[in-house]
Amino acid sequence: MKRILTYGALLLWSVPMCSQVFLQIDTLEEVVINGERADHTTYDRGQTDVATTEQTAERDPQLNLVCRGAYAQEVIYRGLSGAQVATLVDGMRIYGACTDKMDPVTSYVDRSNLSVLQSDQTASIGFHALNFKLEKGEFGVERRWKSGVFSSYQINNAQRRIGANAVYESKDFWWLASASHTEANNYVAGSGQKIRYTQFTKQNLYSASGWRRGKHEFTATGIVDRAYDIGYAGLPMDVSSATAVITKLEHKTSLGKWKNLNSVYFNDVAHVMDDTKRDSVFMHMDMPGCSTTLGYHGQLQRVWNQWILDVDFELVRNRRFAEMTMYPVNEVEMYMQTWSVSVREMTTLNPTLKYFPNDRWKFEIVPAIAYYNDQVKEEFGQKQFEVLGYDLTKGTTSLSKSLALTSEYNLNKWGSAFTFAAGDRAPELSERFGFYLYNNQDGFDYMGNPLLSNEQFARINWSNGLKFEKHRVTWSKYVYFFDNYIFGVHNQVLWQMTPGGNGVKEYQNVGSAFIAGSELEVSLFEQGLVPTQITVAYRYGEGENVGYLPQMMPLEVKLFNKAKWKGFDFGLTNVYSLRYTRASQAFGEQNVPAYWMMNAAVSRKLTLKKSSLDIEIAGSNLLDNYYTTHLNWNGIPQMGRNVSLSLKWNFGAIE
Amino acid sequence: MKHIAILGFAVGLLSLTACKKEDPQVVTFEDVLLTHMDEIESQSIGDYTLSIYSSNELIVGYNELNFLLKDADGEFVTDYTMHAHPMMEMGMMMHTTPHGHTEMIEGEYGLYMTDYVFIMPSTAGTWSLEVTVEVDDESVVYDFVLDVIEPEEARMISFMSKTGSEEKYFAALVGAENFGVGENDFEIAIYQRESMMSFPAVTDLTVEIEPWMPTMEHGSPNNVNPVHTMNGHYAGVANFTMTGFWQLKLTIKNADGEIVEEDLAFDITL
């Protein structure tokens, strides 16, 4: 679990013999989210200040976004989603509180909170880990204050954003805070049609502080995030509020030659759905949910001459509850628990051993083990499952394990990395204990299955790269094999609960499946006048008893150009996607036509006496094309032409 | 029948508490009984007092009446027999009502139980219960007036057979007061009217059920159709997946497989 490893990545880079390792993409890739950290920021709209966290992440060709509305898009990795990917915030496990996956954890942070996204293939839990790292201060040599205010406006959906941040850094103490407010109306699609229920309002407060005493270093972080009046165009319901409190205390020290990190964290997420804004509803419903997680993460790290060992250990307890109350006219209300009070207790142990025998080879071995204890704690929920013939009065335990082996070879201009990994993942709480969770995409109510077996996987990943002075090529090929693949299967016996629905699906281990795909990244003229980057990505997936696997992107080509001229930075992005013809019928997907989308941005930094001003004008979907992607629920169209203006006024230390 | 279990528990509880000699408060069987039931009627004739207990108000539907006899010293009488006869007097006519056998269910205290399915409320006339007690070679006749109310949701439904045989049936739902989300054991007690004075149990029917939520137009899985156990009682399992307004739909067929009734439903609000 080196995903949390700040030092890990740094150390790796600081080991001189592997300075040629440019194929880090294979095991640990970083996407810079907060533009302040790097200057190659105007590649595309994803890097502009109006972009959301998720849009920034999408710059990585391995990642895609599932859209159910304009807000809270779900970041998926190589077509894997849900419990297959562990999405973490600064190493913390956070679980959404919505039974219908309307609140992926990325929606509870603001892009101003984040520094980088680490994408880690050798994660122990799930098949991949995405870690959104929080912005932190640094212990400086001298005292300094930095602060800034930022504001932006985008025309299409009248999105207004305003915020401020401040950082204080000194020798043994730092403190950082930011606040932001973002508000958007409904957007207009390329056809000129206003897409109702795409509005949202989000407020975010973030503060972090670090202090140092001898060899001990402490960090405290806290986020309060609240979004409300959020439209979900792809669903029959909206969200009246989604609130999260995220806190963490961290201690770093050294124990002899070992580096040691201990952190405890707590987060609480509350999510309330809302059908009162819809024109016609069959029946008014209240559907609140909450999810509370308490966790400990410990880490020991040691570096020998040619070896690095990290040992990660986690103890996590997640408690979830979601209920549904329906109000028929002139009748008694109806009530059920869609997630009865259910608790997962999880223990993970995840050592990573890296070996650098010489300046050409690097080897890595990551064995991991996780133990789960899942239980429905409330009698009401146990009784609900009694109806289905399950006895949930006792907990369910499961063990998941995985092993990842990587070898990397670099010689002069070229390098190659090969990873083999195999293991399994335990079913997620919702897959075990969900009760009539309506999925609007396929129109089925989903039932948990307490008897699900672990989903097994084996993965082979092979990346090759070539690096010249100004040009760079990386080509990754991968294949995943699954067994006991977990998928919703139509249960003909059960009555659907949702009026007008298609029936009930129950999660089952359906057999084998595979995903194969490839990503090509070409960078040209890196330090030249017009640096250009091309990414090409494609995935294919098929499963026994499933047909095409869902969420497998068609061939997509992205072309990024940037240029510098007289202090101006220009960026141009073109995205070409072939038509999607392999929609998973079983998942309720639709085939989608090909599309072309063009974004552009120009920015300038003005240096004033004691401050600086960043100005950026960006346009997205400049051709005003009407398009949707294979990941947009119920084919909701993407935003049409849009122009935004962002201003950022920085005070204090000027970069 | 559930009350027997409750009583068994109560007796167990009593024997536990009775062991505690230091406890100054003596817990009597009656005290324990009263935690589960109310005394609905009591009459003293000569040396003997007969009391009737029930766990709920008497309703049109299935009821279990419990009887205790005390002597002049207030001690429980255990060696007595009793026979009870319910009667509805409606001015010009009178009739009895379906009922089970009188059984001694707690010999140590002389507790008898009989189940009655009252087929109409007291507003239609007067329900009387004539109880003849044989004790010490003496015959004592008690005459109780019972107050039977119509429950908010019907727990007894009467119907004419659809086979064209002019038979009138009475079906009562047993155990509905304990219904909740989850798996629910229940019984349907079915009787036939032979004459105004005879309502025998019907033991050879086939009963099919379907719990149904009319507002949402859905049912529930894994229900078990009731099958005959004894004395016209058919035991089954009804599942409810959520709270709200449900109906327990019944289809009743006779031994020849002919449909006796099919549009029967008990309303159940959880």
Domain assignment of residue B235, yes or no: yes
Domain assignment of residue B151, yes or no: no
Which residue of B179, B212, B215 to mutate against A (max A Cβ within 10 Å)?
B215
- Nearest beta carbon to residue A386 from set B182, B216, B244: B182
- Nearest residue of chain A to residue B220 (CA atoms): A495
Q: Does residue B193 share a domain with residue B118?
A: no
Which pLDDT tens digit goes with each residue over A197-256?
Answer: 999 999 999 999 999 999 999 999 999 999 999 999 999 999 999 999 999 999 999 999
Under the banding of pLDDT at 50, 70 and 90, the label for residue A1 is very low
Contact A644, A50 (CB under 8 A): yes
Residues 244-283 of A with CB under 8 A from B: 283
- Nearest residue of chain B to residue A494 (CA atoms): B221
Q: State the Cα–Cα distance between residues B245 and B267, nearest whole angstrom.
A: 7
Under 8 Å CB-to-CB from B8, ≥6 apart: which residues? none
Under the banding of pLDDT at 50, 70 and 90, the label for residue A120 is confident
Judge whether B72 is closer than 8 Å to chain A, CB to CB: no
Residues 226-265 of B with CB under 8 A from A: 239-245
Which residue of B216, B217, B240 to mutate against A (max A Cβ within 10 Å)?
B216
Q: State the Cα–Cα distance between residues A610 and A398, nearest whole angstrom.
A: 59
- Given an 8 Å threshold on Cβ–Cβ distance, is A497 in contact with B269? no
Indicate the residue among B146, B166, B200 that finishes a domain: B146
Judge whether B268 is closer than 8 Å to chain A, CB to CB: no
ipTM of this complex prediction, to 2 decimal places: 0.84
State the Rg of chain A over Cα: 24
Indicate the residue among B116, B146, B176 that finishes a domain: B146
- pLDDT at A280 (0 to 100): 83
Does the pLDDT value for residue A437 go beyond 50? yes
SS3 B157: strand
- Nearest beta carbon to residue B243 from set A328, A334, A494: A334
| A2-652 under CATH 3.30.300.30, yes or no | no
CA distance A392 to chain B (A): 12
Judge whether A499 is closer than 8 Å to chain B, CB to CB: yes
Q: Does residue B173 share a domain with residue B52?
A: no
Q: How many CB atoms lie within 10 A of CB A100?
A: 25
Q: The CATH number of the domain where B38 resides is what?
A: 2.60.40
Which pLDDT tens digit goes with each residue over B192-247?
Answer: 999 999 999 999 999 999 999 999 889 999 999 999 999 999 999 999 999 999 99
Q: Does residue B192 share a domain with residue B79?
A: no
In the Cβ-directed half-sphere of A369, how many Cα atoms lie within 13 Å? 3
CA distance B243 to chain A (A): 5
Judge whether A436 is closer than 8 Å to chain B, CB to CB: yes
- Nearest beta carbon to residue B269 from set A332, A380, A436: A332
CA distance A328 to chain B (A): 7
Q: The CATH number of the domain where B194 resides is what?
A: 2.60.40.10
Which residue of A495, A497, A506 to mutate against B (max B Cβ within 10 Å)?
A495
CA distance B17 to chain A (A): 30
Which pLDDT tens digit goes with each residue over A125-179?
Answer: 668 889 999 999 999 778 888 999 999 999 999 999 999 999 999 999 999 999 9
Bridge partners of residue A455, in order along the sequence: A425
Model confidence, pTM: 0.88
Domain assignment of residue B15, yes or no: yes
- Given an 8 Å threshold on Cβ–Cβ distance, is A499 in contact with B222? no
Which pLDDT tens digit goes with each residue over A252-300?
Answer: 999 999 999 999 999 999 999 999 999 888 889 999 999 999 999 999 9
Q: Which residues of chain B have pLDDT under 70?
A: 1-25
For tokens 């390792």, name the residue.
Answer: A21
CA distance A275 to chain B (A): 17
**CA B8 to chain centroid:** 18
- pLDDT at A391 (0 to 100): 95
Q: Does residue B176 share a domain with residue B135?
A: no
Q: State the Cα–Cα distance between residues A133 and A57, nearest whole angstrom.
A: 12
Does the pLDDT value for residue A631 go beyond 70? yes
CA distance A273 to chain B (A): 19
- Nearest residue of chain B to residue A383 (CA atoms): B182
Which regions of A356-485 does DSSP assign to beta strands (E)?
361-376, 396-411, 414-425, 437-439, 444-447, 455-467, 472-483
Contact A557, A573 (CB under 8 A): no
Residues 187-216 of B with CB under 8 A from A: 213, 215-216
- Given an 8 Å threshold on Cβ–Cβ distance, is B245 in contact with A331? yes
Which residue of B179, B212, B220, B241 to mutate against A (max A Cβ within 10 Å)?
B241
- pLDDT at A430 (0 to 100): 95
Indicate the residue among B122, B146, B170 that finishes a domain: B146
Q: Does residue B209 share a domain with residue B123?
A: no
Burial (CB < 10 A; 0-12, 13-18, 19+), residue A313, is middle
Contact A521, A493 (CB under 8 A): no
Domain assignment of residue B265, yes or no: yes
Pairs across A and B, CB distance < 8 A: 67
Under 8 Å CB-to-CB from A110, ≥6 apart: which residues? A53, A163, A178, A180, A182, A202, A204, A206, A225
Residues 439-498 of A with CB under 8 A from B: 493-497
Domain assignment of residue B219, yes or no: yes
Question: Order of strands across the sheet with A128-134?
Answer: A28-32, A114-120, A128-134, A85-89, A92-93
Q: Does residue B54 share a domain with residue B7?
A: yes
Domain assignment of residue B68, yes or no: yes
Which domain, by its residues, includes B39?
2-146
- Nearest beta carbon to residue B220 from set A328, A332, A495: A495
- Residues of chain A contacting B240 with CB distance shorter than 8 Å: 387
- How many domains does the structure of chain B reveal? 2
Q: Does residue B37 share a domain with residue B66?
A: yes
Under the banding of pLDDT at 50, 70 and 90, the label for residue A654 is very low
